[in-house]
Amino acid sequence: MPRLTRAESQNRNRQVLLDAARERFLAEGYLATSIAKVADEAGFSTGVVYSNFGSKAELALHVLRDIQREQVAELDGIFRGQSDVEGKLDAFRQWAERAMASGWPRLELEFALDARTEDALVAAEAERQRSAVDHIAAAIEDQLPEGAPGGLVPVRALADSAVNVAIGLAVRRLIDPNVSVEYLLQLLRSLLTLISR
């Protein structure tokens, strides 16, 4: 097997660190996970972590971007791939239950609370949230029948509201594990029914 170049080795180490950080952050949360735990999980020293990421917050932001990219892609597949409203809702229910049980909501909340005092992190978080809304708005627009008007409520406002409700639901589920996704599903059913007309 050929020896890795320095750049290839750095990329591999960076990915190993991201994978280890993701595992720790999702299992323990942002606040309880230290750089030392990530380094230990990855089999590296803390120096290797800091040579790849400037801080725990920067590492977490990269992990969150990866998670968001995967989750938005899965949602996109649900809404573009299923043909009928009930199929979409069933797939969404399964996605929501997996997502809320994954540790992702806790990581999002703890990171947001910790990052809120750093302007660069606040800007990065705001952009990440806008990106999620943009993707959802595009998925909604793609579901509209050819030549359909935008409706009474702009698509962007619907997407923004859906993200806000989902975030609120996820935070509530952190506090009360009995909180159900059913109300969100009812809202989505109404939205999808309107869109599919």
CA distance 63 to 21: 7
Section 11-33 average pLDDT: 97
Highest mean pLDDT among 69-78, 87-96, 102-111, 139-148: 102-111
pLDDT in tens, 133-157: 999 888 888 877 666 655 666 888 8
Largest CA distance in the chain: 61
**The token pair that represents 42 in the structure block:** 């990855």
Report the b/e string of 36-50 with b at 16+ CB within 10 A.
ebbbebbebeeebbe
In this predicted structure, what is the pLDDT of residue 150? 57
CATH H superfamily, domain 1-54: Homeodomain-like (1.10.10.60)
Domains of the chain, by residue range, sit at: 1-54, 56-195
Q: 56-195: what CATH class?
A: mainly alpha
Task: Please state the pTM of the whole predicted model.
Answer: 0.87
